[in-house]
Structure 1
Amino acid sequence: MSEHRAIIDWRRSSADFTYLTYNRAHDWQFNAATVPASATKEYRGDENRVNPEEALVAALSSCHMLTFLAVAAKRKLSLDSYRDEAVGVLEKNAEGKLAITRVTLRPKIVWSAGVTVSPEDLAKIHHDAHAGCFIANSVKTEVTVEA
């Protein structure tokens, strides 16, 4: 078992506190970094800051990538780069509540020189990466990989 911590720090910046006037800007503090965060633009947030919806998509994508790299390394399949342009969809779920209902990962992998991976083997690596991803195992969101 391990614990993972984050400090979320918000401070009022206006004299009044109403839905229209309170600021959504806040910081996420981790051991190594501070991330400027906010609500999405649709909820009166600052689009120049990371929002929780983007962070969830990034967490799923990052976890999948890290697990993919581990699976590939254990199979002695070397790669030079991995880039994912992941997309999450916010919509009403089966209970009628707004949720990130699905995330699509679109990883582009550049294998090292001399490494050949069949489409079937690539699908198996992605399957194993998804099954081993702690974040994917923690959410109800449907996660698909379009490789």
Structure 2
Amino acid sequence: MSTEQHRYRLTVTWTGNRGSGTSSYRDYGRDHIIAAAGKPDIPGSSDLAFRGDAARWNPEDLLVASVSACHKLWYLHFCSVNAIVVERYEDAAEGVMVMDKDGGGRFTAIALKPKIWISSGDAELALKLHHDAHEKCFIANSVNFPIGCEAEILQA
């Protein structure tokens, strides 16, 4: 078995200095910019619950989005090689994070709830391919909590 390595480089630049740095917990913003060469910037912050900006992406949003997007990409691949024509795919993904009394925390689960509209192919196989997508998903294979999938196959 060969191992192929891929590297992902980006920068995260804090933009929340309001003039006095981190002189106190309430005096600085949590805003940052996620940037990578050749890609649009992503405005980031912390969750509103942690003094962040609700209009910006937070790390928790991005983790759930990464799991959902990776699963979708593998799923579409498996559909394409199994003669299933997907016309539309929407996932209402949700992650659960629990906080410890000391302020730390962790994700305990992510639930994927994709609705997939197909115009041709075996609907039963289309449903089963979610298992294969989960098995191959790079992000799912990198986390230490369960990821469930409640898929619905619809006719386009």
Q: Is the 8 A contact 2:34 2:42 kept in 1?
A: yes
Q: For residue 51 of structure 2, what is the aligned residue in structure 1?
A: 44
1:6 and 2:13 are equivalent in the alignment: no
1:49-68 to 2 correspondence within 5 Å?
49-68=56-75
Aligned equivalent of 1:144, options 130, 139, 148: 148
Q: Compared with structure 1, are the counterparts of its residues 79 and 107 closer, same or farther at alpha carbon in structure 2 (3 Å cutoff)? A: same
TM-score normalised per structure 2:
0.85
User: Secondary structure, in 3 states, of the residue corresponding to 2:84?
Assistant: coil
Q: Compared with structure 1, are the counterparts of its residues 16 and 5 closer, same or farther at alpha carbon in structure 2 (3 Å cutoff)? A: closer
The AA in structure 2 aligned to 1:35 is I
User: Secondary structure, in 3 states, of the residue corresponding to 2:123?
Assistant: coil
The AA in structure 1 aligned to 2:33 is D
Q: Tell me the matched-pair count.
A: 142
1:124-143 to 2 correspondence within 5 Å?
124-143=128-147
1:94-109 to 2 correspondence within 5 Å?
97-109=104-116
Q: Compared with structure 1, are the counterparts of its residues 38 and 76 closer, same or farther at alpha carbon in structure 2 (3 Å cutoff)? A: same
Structure 2 alignment gaps of length 5 or more? 152-156
Q: Name the Cα RMSD after superposition.
A: 1.7
* 1:95-121 Cα deviation digits (max 9, x unpaired): x95111100000000002x33412xx2
Q: For residue 42 of structure 2, what is the aligned residue in structure 1?
A: 35
Q: Is the 8 A contact 2:83 2:121 kept in 1?
A: no
2:145 and 2:55 mapped to 1: Cα distance?
Answer: 25
Give me the identity figure in percent. Answer: 35
1:75 and 2:82 are equivalent in the alignment: yes
* Cα deviation, residue 5, structure 1: 1.4
* Cα deviation, residue 15, structure 1: 2.1
1:111-130 to 2 correspondence within 5 Å?
111-112=118-119, 114-118=120-124, 121-130=125-134
